[in-house]
Amino acid sequence: MKVKHGAGLSALQKKIGGMCGKVIRGVPQLARLSVPYNISGKAATASQIFYKNRYAAKVQEWRAATPAQRAAWDLLGEPLNISGFNYLMMVSEMNQTDINPDETEATTLDNPIVSLQGNMNRIRHWIIALSGEAWGTVTTSTAALAAKFHATTGHKHTGTAGDGPVLTIPFSASPENSMLQAIESVFVGIISSFGLAWSDLGQRGAEVYVFSLAYLGNGIAVAGTGTNGKIFRSVNYGLTWTDLGQLGAETYVLSLAYLGNGIAVAGTNPNGKIFRSVDYGATWSDLGQRGAETQVYSLAYLGNGIAVAGTIPNGKIFRSVNYGATWSDLGQQGAETQVISLAYLGDGIAVAGTGPHGKIFRSVNYGATWTDLGQRGAETYVYPLAYLGNGIAVAGTGPHGKIFRSVDYGATWSDLGQLGAETYVFSLAYLGNGIAVAGTYPHGKIFRSVNYGATWSDLGQQGAETQVLSLAYLGNGIAAAGTGPIGKIFRTTM
């Protein structure tokens, strides 16, 4: 399938004349101007005025779009290194005949969804099935298409009830182009449903806990397990996993972090060691025990080659400034004996969650020094921490299963209350576009937020598991969850 990305754009530039065409990074784009100007100094023609007004209308449409709609268009523009607005303009000027069928058309979306180009023919099939019209001559209004989208359920559109995703995004009453509106709705619907449904990939060998997960880029992910202290590795975004064996004599791989440049680190129990990989998790070297610590329970990368590790039973933070090759002991954090979570919030700011006094510590100098922010209510453990962007962070606690939220880079925190009847929030992850997920105990549930952690919905228990111990975003619209006591990995996709 070939999509003539530049066809509509070039046509619009010709129609407008020399008023707002420019090239950025080699990609033709339209200047984002509400009132395009005429560089030639000549009076605008009637045709140019028409298209100037049309362009201005698109600007207003973009300004009126919801955050979810803008996020959908930004996602589409990423592969071409252009903004979502410029992608909107580009597709707005496409004709139906700019999409050419190939010999291998499918009726389902490519997974993961990477670009509009990779899935245009799938959407073409849906529109044909829904409209009953031949491609190139589709005139069915988007309102009519919307009614058919909303009337069906499932995973693809063949025009029959029970065979298409239910989309809640409203359609424009009088669109310029049915194809454009259908595409927008499909992709916004896909993004808004991310993290809702999880597939059970089964137990990892004889392991009973998947304590840690990390994404290393290029489709590569690693999982740390217990009770045999193994590393499992995936090279296809968590779809299948290979057993790399036990890390030394360790029985639990409690933490994992990616430091960039193919370098990853793992923290273990019962000998409190850090292991390091320089080949995207394929092989691991034993860096030895951290002082007298028995558990390296948390790890985080703070950028610029700086990493931090949290330990038990002396509540210490260790710090590396050379991508995990060597580590310095920063000492115990207050009277805490467990540093069980770490997260980087950007701009040199990091936070640490501790026990048994349920405190959050904060650093503003890349983990060099830490300030005690105090206990979170009556909680005794701050298990997971996650950064959701825009200064927003969330923390999960026990024994009352609460979520705490910060909107000022971890300086202050608000108590959002207990997640259902859960007593511990063991894991958190950010999936992008305002979507976050939380894993809990004792009912093995996943909770989901679509508003940067402000409110949470209960997605229910994952199989028969009682603990969702780890969560990670693996890129390309894919996330994974590690559980216990059956040691499974669950996976969700857009």
266 CB-near residues (< 8 Å, 6+ apart) = 212, 222, 224, 231, 247, 253, 255, 256, 274, 275, 276, 277, 284, 299
What's the pLDDT at 223?
Answer: 98
pLDDT at residue 169 tops 90: no
Percent of the chain with pLDDT over 90: 57
Question: Which amino acid is present at 105?
Answer: E
| Least reliable range by pLDDT among 30-39, 114-123, 300-309 | 30-39
Domain boundaries, the chain: 2-192, 199-493
At 386-440, the pLDDT tens digits run 999 989 999 999 999 999 999 999 999 999 999 999 999 999 999 988 899 999 9
Closest CA to 55 of 82, 86, 81: 86
According to the model, what pLDDT value does residue 221 have? 97
Average pLDDT taken over every residue of the chain: 79
User: Which residues sit opposite 199 in a β-bridge?
Assistant: 491
Predicted confidence band of residue 327 (pLDDT cuts 50, 70, 90)? very high
Q: Which whole number is the average pLDDT over 246-261? A: 97
Note the pLDDT of residue 91. 58
Checking if the pLDDT of 252 tops 90, the result is: yes
Q: Is 402 within 8 Å of 415 (Cβ atoms)?
A: yes
Residue 343's pLDDT is 98
Q: Percentage of the chain surpassing pLDDT 70?
A: 65
- Residue 227: per-residue pLDDT: 93
What integer pLDDT is reported at residue 101 of this predicted model? 46
Quickly state the pLDDT bin for 208 (edges 50, 70, 90).
Answer: very high
Instruction: Categorise residue 151: left if φ over 0, alpha if ψ from -120 to 50, beta otherwise.
Output: alpha
Q: Which pLDDT belongs to residue 134?
A: 67
Task: Label residue 476 by pLDDT band (50, 70, 90).
Answer: confident
Q: What is the pLDDT of residues 2-31, one digit of tens each?
A: 333 444 444 434 433 333 333 333 333 333
Average pLDDT of the segment spanning 192-201? 82
Length of the chain, please? 494
By mean pLDDT, which of 113-127, 183-197, 276-290, 429-443 is the weakest? Answer: 113-127
pLDDT per residue over 138-165, tens digit each? 666 655 665 565 554 433 444 444 444 4
pLDDT: which is higher, 70 or 403:
403
From 3.40.50.300, 3.40.120.10, 2.130.10.10, 3.40.50.1820, which CATH number describes the 199-493 domain?
2.130.10.10
Look at residue 230 and tell me whether its pLDDT is greater than 60: yes
Q: What is the pLDDT of residues 31-49, one digit of tens each?
A: 333 334 344 455 666 666 6
**What pLDDT digit, counting tens, does each position of 371-385 carry?**
999 999 999 999 999
Is the pLDDT at 104 greater than 50? The verdict is no
Q: Which comes out higher in pLDDT, residue 89 or 362? A: 362
- Of 83-87, 172-176, 283-287, the range with the lowest mean pLDDT is 172-176
